[in-house]
Amino acid sequence: MVWFFALIRIVSNPFSNVFQKALTRRSADPLFIICATHGLLSIACLPVVCLKSWGLGSAFWGNIAICAVLAVAGNALLVQAVRISDLSVLGPINAYKSVVSLLPGIVLLGEVPRPMGLGGIGLIVAGSYFLVDRDVSRPRRNAFVRFFRDRGVQYRFAALLLSATEAVFLKKALLASSAITAFAFWAVLGFIVSLVAVALLMGGAKKLRHERAVLWDSRALYFLLAFTTGSMQLTTLLTFAALKVGYALALFQTSTLLTVVLGTWFFREPHFAKRMLGSAVMVAGAVLIIASK
């Protein structure tokens, strides 16, 4: 059963990104997209919330509250990234999460990664080279400079840092409850946080009327997004509950390859072969880092 959960998670994550990008192409605001997604999930989770609200300890409430804030901020940045950049470029960046997980040990503890881990870092950096084409008008300009200066890539890295931090608190919340309970409160508290953010940051009534109009016209896309996002988050928790986190993360990396395929299929993104090669190299690097721990 755990392999079924892992498969659902691998497939649902790229499709969630596809629906997010499709909605931004219809001029939906990233923050409103996250709010509506959590709102739809909250409706489905209300029975669990009503039944499980009592008896949860302070450890659960503290960790799940932090998760909600990080999830809303990180996902809003992710949607902003997919709005302005290709999925086939942004998807493979998830491999850098394995590098991020090594940094605290290097900086704070002076722990130098093993040779296998260093090799994994090298593969991830090397794979990044294939994601961005050289500027033909400026052939001497370094491709890596172009990659890291891309605004969408920068948003994606910011989202990755927040999601990596969120995963730590989510794991703690999971240990203090269950996968279903943690998922339900993640959805509901995320809706509350995102609703406050929409009220404070979205602007005036005209903007909100526009977003409501897009929501109604694109309601099928919003339902699909809520379904794939919920499937992704729930199966992530169920997989973490059954497998070691390192093994699960190694499995999840394969979703990167599907993201490149979907970016080309749905949005006609260019350079499929080159970006697929870069993604494969980065996935191999991420697996090496995880295996070295």
Q: Which of 124-133, 215-224, 243-252, 271-280 has the lowest mean pLDDT?
A: 243-252
Stated as kind and residue range, the H or E segment containing 219 is helix 219-242
SS3 289: helix
| Residues whose CB is less than 8 angstroms from the CB of residue 236 and which lie 6 or more positions away in sequence, other chains included | 9, 248, 252
Separation of alpha carbons 73 and 71, rounded Å: 6
Mean pLDDT for the chain overall: 89
No. of H helices and E strands in the chain? 14, 0
**Which token pair is 46?**
């209300």
**Which token pair is 6?**
């892992």
DSSP secondary structure code for residue 277 in this structure: H
Counting residues of the chain whose pLDDT is more than 90, the rounded percentage is: 60
As a residue count, the chain comes to 293
Note the pLDDT of residue 107: 64
Q: Which of 275, 235, 276 is nearest to 252 (CA)?
A: 235
pLDDT band at 249 (very low <50, low <70, confident <90, very high): confident
Number of neighbouring beta carbons within 10 Å of residue 98: 27
pLDDT digits (tens, 9 = 90+) for 86-124: 999 999 998 887 777 666 666 655 667 788 888 888 999
DSSP secondary structure code for residue 243 in this structure: S
Please determine, for residue 270, whether its predicted confidence score (pLDDT) is greater than 70: yes
pLDDT band at 134 (very low <50, low <70, confident <90, very high): low
SS3 149: helix
b (16+ CB within 10 A) / e for 156-181: bbbbbbbbbebbebbbbbbebbbbeb
Separation of alpha carbons 201 and 225, rounded Å: 22
Overall domain count for the chain: 1
Helix extents (H) in 25-129: 30-52, 58-84, 87-90, 96-109, 115-128
**Residue 18 amino acid letter:** V
pLDDT band at 153 (very low <50, low <70, confident <90, very high): very high
Q: Which of 210, 104, 97, 117 is nearest to 161 (CA)?
A: 97
pLDDT band at 44 (very low <50, low <70, confident <90, very high): very high
Q: Is the dihedral of CA 270, 153, 250, 130 positive or negative?
A: positive
Note the pLDDT of residue 104: 61
pLDDT digits (tens, 9 = 90+) for 163-219: 888 888 888 899 899 999 999 999 999 999 999 999 998 878 889 999 999 999 999
Domain membership of residue 227 as a residue range:
2-292
Note the pLDDT of residue 7: 92
pLDDT band at 73 (very low <50, low <70, confident <90, very high): very high
**Which token pair is 86?**
């290709």
pLDDT band at 40 (very low <50, low <70, confident <90, very high): very high
pLDDT band at 137 (very low <50, low <70, confident <90, very high): low
Please determine, for residue 36, whether its predicted confidence score (pLDDT) is greater than 60: yes
Of residues 251 and 227, more confidence is placed in 227
Separation of alpha carbons 290 and 172, rounded Å: 20
